[in-house]
Chains A and B, each alone.
Chain A
Amino acid sequence: MITVRDEGRPILSIEGVWKSFGGLAAVAGVDFSVAAGSITALIGPNGAGKTTLFDLISGFAKPDRGAIRFNGTSIGRLPPHRVARLGLVRTFQLTRVFEAMTVLDNMMLAAPAQPGEKLITHVAGRAASKRSDRDVRAWALELLARFKLDGKADDYGASLSGGQRKLLEFARALMTRPKLLLLDEPMAGVNKVLGRQLLDFVEDMRRTEQVTFLFVEHDMDVVMARADRVVVMAEGAVISEGSPEHVRNDYRVVDAYLGQPRGAA
């Protein structure tokens, strides 16, 4: 296996991770790391184990073997909310929007460590809670504007289209001010123009706030144009890893996934 250890310390490292369901090893000895401040794409055919790997990283599944470290902390055994509080936040392939809540409430719920989240601090410090709520609302509306959802702020989540749900989940995850964001097919169903703007925004966040991105995506144009590094999985294992050019020309990747160079979309 070719491993290109590139610039920057790893913010996430996955070391010999296995996960089986029944007799089937969905993730079979995966090793790779994500450099702090990078945009890393995780690609591979359906059933390669990408989503299972996301579940393992975010605490929704526990690895049978191996270690997962985030900023040096072992997170393989932590429950999802503890992982998220460390700054590692994910979105879902099948969107999970709070349907009977307004778009704005979807966003505001996600803001971390609000004083009004706890009954005691809310009742004891009404003024502080109100102030924080105002700030959270302003930040939510700013993000919604970025994602062209500000017109929908007062609508229920259920009224959003598939693409809008993807956007809301992306924006909602950013509300947590993550250090590492795992995005599961963030561009599925999103129109191309807005998609491009959002990818610019991702670059921006990486530069100004040092947010690291790891995303699963099937649109190869997006992957090749935007990722610094690409990790390719097939049948539960990493089959190639490196720069977009490197991966595109790797015959194993072509065989397992891309079909022909520069082909798949």
Chain B
Amino acid sequence: MSVDFWIGVAVIAGIYGIAALGLQLNAGFTGLLNFGQAGFMAIGAYSMSLLVVEQGWPLPAAIPIAIAASVLAALLVGAPSLRLRSDYFAIATIAFAEIVRYVFQNAEFAGGNQGMIGYDQGWRNFAGWLSSTLAPWGIGNPQLPLLLAIWIFFLAALVALDALEHTPWGRILKGVREDEDAVAALGKNVLAYKLQSLAIGAALGAISGIFLALNVTYLYPGEFDPTVTFFAYSVLILGGFASYWGIIIGTLLFWTVMEGLRFIHLPLSTNQLGSLRLVLVGLILVILMRLRPQGLVGRKAEMQSRQ
């Protein structure tokens, strides 16, 4: 397969890897089943796009505000629902993500189902300049700048989260995952920690959504349906529960399979092939769960003790 294919795989793998990092912090290290990551991605992507297209902001100024918008949404969703039991929180976040998607689908200022274009001009200019600069070294692939940006951020965020896991802060998050009443009985404000975890997860979701928008050049609500969140969870499960590093291998494997299956020639319609992809991915997950329930890189001890 061509270089373009592998760059494409790595770009989308990086985008989902960033979203999965946020989910790993939430689910793997705080015990919060955040099923609304697609919603946080959508808010990030659309806020960026609206600021650039409607308000004429430069992209570098729009991105921090878009991340802040997503964090604010996380705090608004989390403040009431994080007081509930974890399964209610999970349902609340699915509902939140769907509400966000339907709002953008019906909002005329955001193009409705038509979506938005033109938010990425600033990025294209920069990427064009960078790839023409790199061209003399034979690495002038037009997708390369996006690949680099995504993976530099992905790896930096991964290292930072991994470091945070080993702080007293990270220790309390794990305690919340294990038994939040016991944490409260020891004098720690459980809700504050849950909100911080969710806010950071949402910020990573927003960044993932912004990269996703830059990758597609045309932003529409269908990009953020619930399967996006579930793909990100599949990446997390493949890599392993409570492991940030596992996400790298999880996301590369998941997207290699997903994209690679496009090249298998079977006497099937496009729709059928699309479904078959999901069947095969599901099968791989089932086999993995049988053989290595902790995921490819996950820690067995942290899985076993939750039975």
Contact = CB atoms under 8 A, between A and B. Distances in A.
Contact of B305 (A100, A109, A118, A175): A100
Main SS at interface, chain B = helix
A143 interface: no
B162 to A, nearest CB: 15
Contact of B182 (A98, A111, A122, A156): A98
Interface in B168-194: 168-169, 171-172, 174-175, 177-179, 181-190
Interface stretch (A62-70, A83-91, A214-222, A237-245): A83-91
Nearest to A79: B184
A81 B184 contact: yes
Given A100-B306, A114-B168, A92 B184 contact: no
Contacts of A91: 185
B55 interface: no
A18 B117 CA distance: 63
B170 to A, nearest CB: 9
Interface string A162-182: 000000000011011000000
A89 B306 CA distance: 26
Q: What is the interface residue range for chain B against chain A?
A: 20 to 34
Interface string A103-145: 0010011111011111100100000010011001000000000
Contacts of B175: 98, 101, 109
A103 to B, nearest CB: 12
B178 A89 contact: no
A55 to B, nearest CB: 10
Given A98-B179, A100-B301, A84 B169 contact: no
B171 A109 contact: yes
A10 interface: no
B178 A101 contact: yes
B186 A172 contact: yes
Nearest to A122: B167
A169 to B, nearest CB: 8
Given A80-B181, A110-B186, A176-B186, A119 B196 contact: yes
Nearest to B178: A98
A236 interface: no
Contact of A108 (B171, B242, B304): B171
B31 to A, nearest CB: 10
Contacts of A111: 168
Contact of B171 (A58, A96, A105): A105
A99 interface: yes
A157 B301 CA distance: 10
Interface string B143-156: 00000000000000
A92 B184 CA distance: 12
Contacts of A4: none
Nearest to B242: A100
B302 interface: yes
A139 to B, nearest CB: 13
Contacts of B190: 81
A220 B305 CA distance: 35
Contact of B179 (A96, A114, A129): A96
Contacts of A80: 181, 184-185
15 contacts: A60-B184, A81-B184, A81-B185, A89-B187, A98-B178, A99-B305, A100-B174, A100-B301, A100-B305, A114-B168, A119-B169, A119-B196, A157-B178, A173-B186, A176-B187
Given A98-B182, A119-B164, 5 more contacts: A81-B184, A98-B178, A118-B169, A122-B167, A156-B301
